[in-house]
Amino acid sequence: MFVIGIVALFGSSVFAQKYNNIPDVVKSVLAKNYPNAKNVKWDKEDANFEASFKMNDLDNSILFDVKGNVLESEVAIKELPKNVLEYLNKNYPNQKVVESAKITNAKGVVTYEAEIKGKDLIFDANGKFLKFNK
C-alpha cells in the first residue's frame, strides 16, 4: 500500500509501468549512492526511471533521468516537522496521517508529504502548506 502512495507522489507516476530495461548508468548510480538498497523495483515514468526500495527499514523512492542524474528522492518518515503537525491538527482535527515522507528535488529543495483522507498534502521545509497532490 505504501509503495502505491509513493508512486502517486510523482504526478505522472500514476501512469508508471514496471520496467526491466534500465540503463547501466542508472543502475550504477543507484548502487553507488544507495549500496544498502534492498528489493529494488523499477518503474519507467516518461523518459525517467524510478527505483523503489527498502533501506534502513524505510521505504525509499529515487527518480533518475536517462543519464543517471537524481531528479528527486523520497524517504518515508515516522514523524513530520512540528509546523506541519500544527497545520494538520488545526485543519484536519482527529484525522490520521496514513503516510508521511520527506522529498528532496535535484536542487536540494526539501518538501514534506502527508497523506490524509486519500489526499497528499505537500508542505515546504518550514511546514507551510503548498498544495495537494493527486
Q: pLDDT tens, 6-20? A: 334 333 333 344 567
The answer to whether residue 55 scores a pLDDT higher than 70 is: yes
Q: What is the predicted pLDDT for the residue at 56?
A: 87
Q: Give the residue numbers spanning the domain of 94.
A: 77-134
Is residue 71 included in any domain, yes or no?
no
DSSP-assigned states of every residue in 64-89: E-TTS-EEEEEEE-SS--HHHHHHHH
3-state secondary structure of 131: strand
62 has a pLDDT exceeding 90? yes
pTM of the model: 0.79
Indicate the number of domains in the chain: 2
Per residue in 23-44, pLDDT tens?
A: 999 999 999 999 999 899 999 9
**Is the model's pLDDT at 83 over the cut of 70?**
yes
What is the average pLDDT across 37-60?
93
Contact yes or no for 95/85 (Cβ under 8 A):
no
Average pLDDT of the residues in 85-111: 95
pLDDT in the model for residue 18: 59
C-alpha cell at 39: 528489493
Please tell me whether residues 86 and 51 are part of one structural domain.
no
Residues 29 and 62 in one domain: yes
Query: Same structural domain for residues 90 and 46?
Result: no
pLDDT band at 2 (very low <50, low <70, confident <90, very high): very low
Note whether residue 72 is domain-resident.
no
